[in-house]
A and B are shown apart, each in its own frame.
Chain A
Amino acid sequence: MNQFEQYRRRFIGGALAATGAVMAPGVMLMQVAHSRAPEEGVSSKHRWGLLIDTSKCATGCNDCVTACNTENGLSGKTGLQDPQWIRKVELTNNNTGASHSLPMMCQHCEHPPCVDVCPTGASFKRADGIVLVDRHICIGCRYCMMACPYKARSLVHEDLNDTQLAHMPRGKGCVESCTLCMHKVDRGDGTTACAEACPEKAIVFGDLNDPSCEIAQRLATYASKEVRADLGLNTGVRYTGI
């Protein structure tokens, strides 16, 4: 994109935002913030993330996991060697007996250990904060799986025999994990499969950098936690209620 094109976009974006502010402030501003032309690459202006309210997350409910499997073409099996992008975790306080349930997936760290250890550069963080595996470069060494404190990554052990979905290429011998539904993000859906599927609306997807986004407002208002905050990874997935 040349300089003029950038100026043009910025001008049009500004004009739209101004019009939106007059007509319907909240709605229009959201749409302008989320829309991106297909030829435009991702930028660090956004940082996509999730906020999960564990007080709403029900024990035994698996809807986010099922939705993720359907969206991305995972088998749904939970054996030791089966790829799982979201795991439901049950937490119990031994002193009080209080128990929590929460979904655990790739936390999309700002400083991802999986990227640090990758010997080929296959594990990388996109400019908008989504941590991904480039399967074209991945050699399946699984260092990233060992480095991840959240057990978020899986290796595909079995041949998938052309059962992959068109928007989500996956293959034997490659490591994979939650992509924060990047195909939906790139399309401008502004949500993820898990967030859509949650019956309690316990998962909120949004831009951590955009103060008008619900997720940023909630993070600014309520106390939230990063899992293993002591590691200083600055995760993109945050939890309330734990």
Chain B
Amino acid sequence: MLASWFKSAALGLMVAFLPLAQASAGDVPKPVIQKGEGDKCVEDTDYMRRNHMKVLNHHRDKTVHEGVRTKQHSLKGCIDCHASPNASGQKTVLGKDHFCQSCHAYAAVSVDCFQCHSSKPAGNAASQSIMPAQSTQGGAAVPRPQGHARLPLINSTLTVKGVAGVIK
């Protein structure tokens, strides 16, 4: 009798706190997953969601050390299909609502690829300014990273409030 009272009390408590739990989960916006170019990804979507990092790491070592240049699992291939235009029309995978950063921000996993790799597709190379003299917009055009330099430059468009768990 007492046990069943405890049970119902516990259930009542859970029900009472459920809306609260839902409210806090709702603070984190769902990632915006934009459809890439082409009919389908190089692997099943479910497989890629869980294993893209393993696939990329494997291909990375094959390319750097053995000179294997297949397109299927290359990071360049990912960017070519999944980059979408930002406000200034530059196709990229970084920035709020763009393919890589949107999901990584939601999952609170830092993406290190773009400390070295270009986030823009190869076809847009001409629009990239590689010489500092060419960037005439002034110092503000290139945002300086804040905080520890090895952390990803994920803070330019996202706020800490909007993206829970992302280290600023």
Q: Do A and B bind each other?
A: yes
A159 interface hit (Cβ, 8 Å): yes
Cβ contact within 8 Å between A166 and B68: no
A166-B67 in contact given A161-B142, A161-B143 (Cβ < 8 Å): no
Quote the shortest CB–CB distance from B88 to chain A (angstroms): 13
Query: B126-154 CB contact bits vs A (8 Å, 1 = yes)?
Result: 00111110000000001111000110010
Q: Is there an interface contact between B60 and A136, defined as CB atoms closer than 8 Å? A: yes
Report A195 CB to chain B, min CB distance, Å: 19
State the CA gap A156–B150 with chains docked (Å).
Answer: 13
Q: Does A201 contact B (CB under 8 A)?
A: no
A20 on the B face (CB < 8 A):
no
The CA of A174 and the CA of B69, in the complex, are separated in Å by 23
Question: Binding site of B, secondary structure by majority: helix, strand, loop or mixed?
Answer: loop
Whole-angstrom distance between the Cβ of A40 and the nearest chain B Cβ: 7
Q: Is the C-beta of A76 less than 8 angstroms from some C-beta in chain B?
A: yes
Complex formed: what's the CA distance from A164 to B118 in Å?
A: 5
| Bound complex: CA A165 to CA B115 (Å) | 12
Interface band, chain B: 35 or more
A128 to B114, CA, bound (A): 28
Range of interface residues on A (Cβ < 8 Å): 35 or more
Which residues of the partner chain A approach B79 to less than 8 Å between Cβ atoms?
Answer: 166
Let me know if A132 is at the binding interface, CB within 8 A: yes
- Assess the A164–B116 pair: CB atoms within 8 A: yes
Chain A residues with CB under 8 Å of B3's CB are none
Known interface pairs A166-B79, A173-B150; A135-B116 also in contact (CB < 8 Å): yes
Is the CB of B7 closer than 8 A to any CB of chain A? no
- Pair B130/A182 contact, Cβ less than 8 Å: no
**CB distance B67 to A186 under 8 Å?**
yes
- CB < 8 Å neighbour of A75 from B121, B131, B143, B150: B131
- Say whether B35 faces chain A, with CB atoms less than 8 Å apart: no
- Which B67-121 residues have a C-beta within 8 angstroms of A? 67-71, 76, 79, 94, 114-121
In the assembled complex, how far is the CB of residue A165 from the closest CB belonging to chain B, in whole angstroms? 6
Residue-by-residue, is A121-134 near B (CB-CB < 8 Å gives 1, otherwise 0)? 00010111000101
**Given A39-B68, A39-B70, A182-B67, do A165 and B128 touch, yes or no (CB 8 Å)?**
yes
Cβ contact of B66, chosen from A42, A74, A76, cutoff 8 A: A42
Report the nearest A residue to B64, measured CB to CB. A134
Give the residues in chain B near A41, CB-CB below 8 Å: 62, 66-68
> When chains A and B are docked, how far (Å) is the Cα of A162 from the Cα of B68?
25
The answer to whether A73 has its CB under 8 Å from any CB of chain B is yes
- Nearest chain A residue, comparing its CB with the CB of B150: A173
Question: Is B65 among interface residues, defined by CB-CB distance under 8 A?
Answer: yes
Q: Is B18 an interface residue (CB 8 A)?
A: no
Task: Provide the A51-93 mask, 1 if CB < 8 A to any CB of B, else 0.
Answer: 0000000000000000001100111110000000000000000
Give every chain B residue within 8 A of A10 (Cβ-Cβ): none
- The complex places the Cα of A126 from the Cα of B116 at a distance, in Å, of 21
Is there a chain B Cβ closer than 8 Å to A211's Cβ?
Answer: no
A189 to B64, CA, bound (A): 18
Contact code string A160-202 (vs B, CB < 8 Å = 1, else 0): 1111111101111110000000100111000000000000000
Q: Is B65 a contact partner of A126 (Cβ separation < 8 A)? A: yes
When A and B form their complex, which 10 residue pairs have the shortest distance between CB atoms, in order from nearest? A171-B116, A41-B66, A166-B122, A42-B67, A169-B116, A38-B69, A169-B117, A73-B130, A166-B118, A164-B118
Residues of A within 8 A of B (CB): 36, 38-42, 69-70, 73-77, 124, 126-128, 132, 134-136, 159-167, 169-174, 182, 185-187
13 pairs across A/B with beta carbons < 8 Å?
Answer: A73-B130, A77-B132, A126-B66, A135-B116, A136-B64, A159-B144, A162-B118, A162-B119, A162-B120, A166-B79, A169-B117, A174-B116, A185-B67
